[in-house]
Homo-oligomer: A and B are copies of this chain.
Amino acid sequence: MFAERTQLALDLVGVFFFAVTGALLAARKGFDIVASALLAGATGLGGGVIRDLIIGVRPAALEHPVYLLPVVLAAAVVYLFFPHVSRFRRTLLLFDAAGLGLFCVTGTEKALAAGVPAVSAVLLGVTSAVGGGLLRDVVAREVPSVFRDDDIYALPAMAGAAAVAVLWWVDALSVWTGVAASVVTFALRALAVRNRWRAPLAYRRQPPDG
């Protein structure tokens, strides 16, 4: 398990990455600065809050107002630098991938620490990782990233969450192996975007015998 301070630090970095994607989308959509901060907050904190509610603990973001810092910082950074960001889509995807990598690891770890069965912990890790972005896209009326068919999104998070469960099982989960799992998840997602890795569709296009 992670020390509490480590958990908090990783969480805050993950919140910042996701919050930036919320503020970027808000800027893209012409929202005002308050709506930008709110969408940044929903994106950065949403996945973790859902996870904590399901586990049955008071959301960390509620107990520790420091979670608001990365949200405000993200809205400020986007406010100041958005016009310079010519490659909006790429920036959003990169920050989203970084948040995905961190949250699938910290989410799974928190669920395991709460005594949830390993399979459920993996799913809760995935929920933390995709929940904030799903909330962002639903309230901003975009096609949710997790359902876009142009490249795999949930699979890297599932791989990262499963890796954490295995590391925990063999008693090898530490900050270093956890961060390594985050980086691998991020790299898998970034490569998926770059190379348009796709999963099979939800149905077989051609039945086997006509």
Contacts and interface: CB of A to CB of B under 8 A. Distances in A.
Interface of A: 23, 26-27, 29-36, 38-39, 41, 49, 53-56, 58-59, 61-63, 65, 68, 75, 78-80, 82-84, 116-117, 119-120, 123-124, 130, 134, 138-141, 143-144, 146-147, 149, 152-155, 158, 198-207
A23 B202 CA distance: 7
Given A33-B201, A56-B58, A68 B27 contact: no
Contact of A204 (B35, B53, B83): B83
Given A34-B155, A124-B62, A139-B147, A203 B27 contact: yes
A146 to B, nearest CB: 6
Nearest to A142: B141
A40 to B, nearest CB: 9
A130 B42 CA distance: 12
Q: Considering residues A78, A82, A155, which has the most beta carbons from chain B within 10 angstroms of its beta carbon?
A: A82
Number of copies: 3
B123 A68 contact: yes
B139 A79 contact: no
A201 B32 CA distance: 4
B146 A38 contact: yes
Given A54-B49, A54-B53, A201 B63 contact: no
A35 B202 contact: yes
Given A59-B54, A154-B34, A199-B32, A204 B82 contact: yes
A103 B119 CA distance: 24
B203 A78 contact: yes
Nearest to A23: B202
A61 B34 CA distance: 30
A32 B205 CA distance: 12
B117 A32 contact: no
A67 B53 CA distance: 19
Contact of A134 (B139, B144, B198): B139
A20 B182 CA distance: 32
